[in-house]
Amino acid sequence: MKKNIKTTEAIFPMPVLMIATYNEDGTVDVMNAARGTMFDRNQVVLNLTESHKTVKNIKKRKAFTVSIADAKHVCEADYFGIVSANTTKDKFEKSGLTATKSKNVDAPIINEFPICMECKFE
């Protein structure tokens, strides 16, 4: 049976977006972003709050990666959404995941996530 859901501002289910940057000391920072989408074939739009450490890192380094978490890593994705890097210094290290430096931008690639977009902030 079909149901009329009226107008909505998004399409659900949305993928879980993991935004990764480097902190000032070179350690990896990752956050779970609830709002984001493709704007064009080569542009991503993220709706992030200024208070996130990740946002400060993006503005400073002018780069970030956007990974899509998979079902195998739902616990880690939840962890990145619950724990704040503003209060937990070694948040990424505690997750047990690993990262590789991107060859294209100044940001980390989370090895365990199957899809990663390397992005410049302009």
The pLDDT of residue 5: 63
Q: Answer yes or no: is 2 within a domain.
A: no
- Is residue 62, in this structure, part of any structural domain at all? yes
Q: Does residue 83 fall inside a structural domain?
A: yes
Alpha-carbon distance values, 36 to 27, 51, 79, 98 (Å) = 24, 17, 19, 23
Please tell me whether the overall predicted TM-score, pTM, comes out greater than 0.85 for this model.
no
Total domains, the chain: 1
Q: Residue 110 belongs to a domain with what CATH number?
A: 2.30.110.10
Question: Over the stretch 54-99, which tens digit does the pLDDT of each residue have?
Answer: 999 999 999 999 998 899 999 999 999 999 888 888 899 999 999 9
- The answer to whether residue 9 sits within a structural domain is no
Domain span at residue 79?
17-120
- Identify residue 119 by its one-letter amino acid code: C
Given this model, what pLDDT does residue 106 score?
97
- Following CA atoms 93, 98, 101, 105 in sequence, which dihedral angle do they give, to the nearest 10 degrees? -80
Name the residue with higher pLDDT: 83 or 35: 83
